[in-house]
Amino acid sequence: MELIETPIPDLYVIKNRLFADDRGYFTEAYNRQTFEKAGLKFDFCQDNRSKSSYGVVRGLHFQLNPKSQTKLVSCIQGKVYDVAVDIRQGSPTFGQWYGVELSEENNLQFLIPQGFAHGFSVLSETAVFTYKCDNFYAPELEGGISYDDPSLGIDWHLPADAIIKSEKDSKHPLLKDLKTNFIYNK
C-alpha cells in the first residue's frame, strides 16, 4: 500500500498492491498499521456503498462538526472521476480541488479528510462506489456545494447534457455562500 500526497495538504491517493493470477486478484483495501505509520489515525466505523449509472454526479457533499467525516473511497466496479474540495477556513488551499479517476482496473483509493467536500461522476455504464467513514451519518449536519460552481471550475469528465443529478444536489449553494465550521489547524 502506497500513500501518495496530492498538492492539497492532508489529501491522499492510495495505491494498493494487487496480487493477480488466472483465478482473479487479491488486494488489501485498508490496513490501520500502514496508515498509523504515516501519521494517519482514523477510527472508521461505517462502510457505505452506492451504485450509479453513467452521467450521475453525486456531490459535492460534507458533514459538519461535531460529526464531520473522513472518507476512504474507492470504485470497485466501473469507473468514476472523484473530487475533493478544501473547505477549511484559513487553509492555504481553501476552495481548491483535486480529482482522480478511480476504477476497478486501477485499484486506487482516495482519502478525503474532514473539512473537504466530496463528489464523483460516473464515467462507465454503471459504477459501484464504496465509502469507509470515521463518523456515523448525521443528516441534520449534512451540507453541500453546487457541483457546477463556476468559481471551482471542476471538469467532471462528462458532457454537460449527460449529467444526471438529484434534486437535492441541484439546490446546494456556491462556495462563496457556504457556511461551515471547518478550521484549518496546521
What are the chain's domains? Answer: 43-177 (2.60.120.10)
Which of 61, 118, 147, 172 is catalytic? The answer is 61
Tens digit of pLDDT for each residue in 71-114?
Answer: 999 999 999 999 999 999 999 999 999 999 999 999 999 999 99
* pLDDT of res. 41: 93
C-alpha–C-alpha distance, residues 71 and 63, integer Å: 11
Lowest mean pLDDT across 19-28, 55-64, 120-129: 19-28
| Options 12, 30, 81, 131, the catalytic residue | 131
CB 11 within 8 A of CB 117: no
Assign 25 a pLDDT band (cuts: 50, 70, 90).
Answer: confident
Is 157 part of the annotated catalytic residue set?
no
How do residues 36-47 score in pLDDT, each as one tens digit? Answer: 999 999 999 999
5, 95, 139 from 178: Cα distances, Å: 27, 11, 17
Among this protein's residues, is 61 annotated catalytic? yes
pLDDT for 82? 98
Question: At residue 69, does pLDDT exceed 80?
Answer: yes
- The pTM (predicted TM-score) of the whole model is 0.94
